Amino acid sequence: MDEKQIRLAAGWIYRKRHTGYWTYPILARDFRADKFLVSLGLSIDEARAVFQALEGKEFLRKMDGQFQTLENFKLQKYEINWAKIAEFKEYATLSFLDRHLPSGVIKFLEYWHTLLVACLILIVTSFFQGFFGEVGVWLKIKIFGAN
């Protein structure tokens, strides 16, 4: 298991950190919870190794005595160690926006992105309409005279 895969998986966990708890099968490619996780292609054993590595770095911690049962298997629940969230953010492989914007702004952009894009398109369209309208008037004056 290489460090790059651990950092990518850590980035996914960091972006989805407000879920309350985690169990390692969520990272496995067989679970198919997310396109990113399928592309990461981790097996169950590799997913367990990611959780153990993040626990060793103290970014995740076991929830004492709390298990989730999945197909007759008891799975240990893990939670984010909020005391080390800044170090976790530095360790994880994140996009530019995830690294530099507050999570509230990112959630706002994710929720309202369609409306924001529509407004931006209207603004740009209005600008181009006004700009090229004035260019047309200017060309008419230059070509045909001042009428």
pLDDT of the residue at 124: 96
Mean pLDDT score of the chain: 86
Please report, for the chain, the start and end positions of each structural domain, with discontinuous segments joined by +: 1-98, 101-147
Question: Do the beta carbons of residue 22 and residue 77 sit within 8 Å?
Answer: yes
pLDDT digits (tens, 9 = 90+) for 91-111: 988 888 888 888 888 888 888
Residue 90, judged by CB atoms within 10 A of its CB (0-12, 13-18, 19+), counts as exposed
Cα gap 94→5, rounded to integer Å: 12
The overall pTM is greater than 0.95: no
Q: What is the pLDDT of residues 10-58, one digit of tens each?
A: 888 888 888 888 888 888 766 666 777 777 888 888 888 998 999 999 9
CATH topology of domain 1-98: Arc Repressor Mutant, subunit A (1.10.10)
